[in-house]
Amino acid sequence: MKQELYNQFIERKNQGKKSFTVLIDPDKVDAAAIEQLVNLSTEAKVDYFFVGGSLVISNHLDECIKQIKAACDIPVILFPGSPSQVSRYADALLYLSLISGRNPELLIGQHVVSAPFVKKSGLEIMPTGYMVVDGGAPTTVSYISNASPIPSDKNEIAMCTAMAGEMLGMKLIYMDAGSGAKRPITETMIEKVASHIECPLIVGGGIIEPEKAYRNCKAGADVIVVGNAIEKDISLIKEMAAAVHSVPVNV
């Protein structure tokens, strides 16, 4: 199986380099918006695009990705809310298992059904332990997943969940307070999780200030994901990327 992008994640982690990711929800962008996002992201040296959403209603996922790929070299990684969100035009796929929930469909069920189709896509597959943490309001992901999030102050539960995910073979851990969360994940929880796993840690959900992105990285996040805040104010791309990239390398 392909490991190109994953190796880049590991290399960056080993070098102590933090990465900034812009989340693009295909339902919320048209061609003009994609062009603007790509231009600003290239200027700001954004490291990755995640493309996906809990619900993708429109059917222009392929077109959206083709447009991004034609306009820049920033890798496009699918962040699918359902097995239908697979596009062979992307570079890789976060193969998410909702390890914080107890809904067997999202732990393994949907994977079984879509496995031949996913394999055939030829995409680089990144096995990801997906952990939803309570963000202070019901988000689309918590409703759709029909699974309770980890309470925001239960750092030990988060830590044990991430450890179990890694020992089960997950190559990435993604802690998400959900898109548009009122409260992003605390630095104490990030620190607790990061200090007990070796694989790269992705953190997202409700991050609206560059300072918070910076503090999350200092606490141990390797990749910061921002969607909503950028949809509201596109100029944040530059500030967010600069904040994440300004975290000192801990050699």
Q: Which residues bind ligand 1GP (CB under 6 A)?
A: 23, 176, 179-181, 204-207, 225-229
* Shortest Cβ 107–ligand 1GP spacing (Å): 18
Backbone angles phi, psi at 45, to 5 degrees: 60, 45
Evaluate whether 133 touches 149 at the Cβ level (below 8 Å): yes
Backbone angles phi, psi at 154, to 5 degrees: -95, 75
Q: Which is nearer to ligand 1GP, 65 or 240 (CB)?
A: 240
Radius of gyration of the chain (CA): 16
Q: Which is nearer to ligand 1GP, 4 or 209 (CB)?
A: 209
For residues 9 and 128, what is the distance between their CA atoms, to the nearest angstrom? 13
* Shortest Cβ 21–ligand 1GP spacing (Å): 9
The residue whose Cβ lies closest to ligand 1GP is 204
* Shortest Cβ 138–ligand 1GP spacing (Å): 14
* Shortest Cβ 184–ligand 1GP spacing (Å): 8
Evaluate whether 115 touches 83 at the Cβ level (below 8 Å): no
How many beta carbons lie within 10 A of that of residue 216, not counting itself? 29
Q: Which is nearer to ligand 1GP, 3 or 234 (CB)?
A: 234
Q: Which is nearer to ligand 1GP, 63 or 209 (CB)?
A: 209
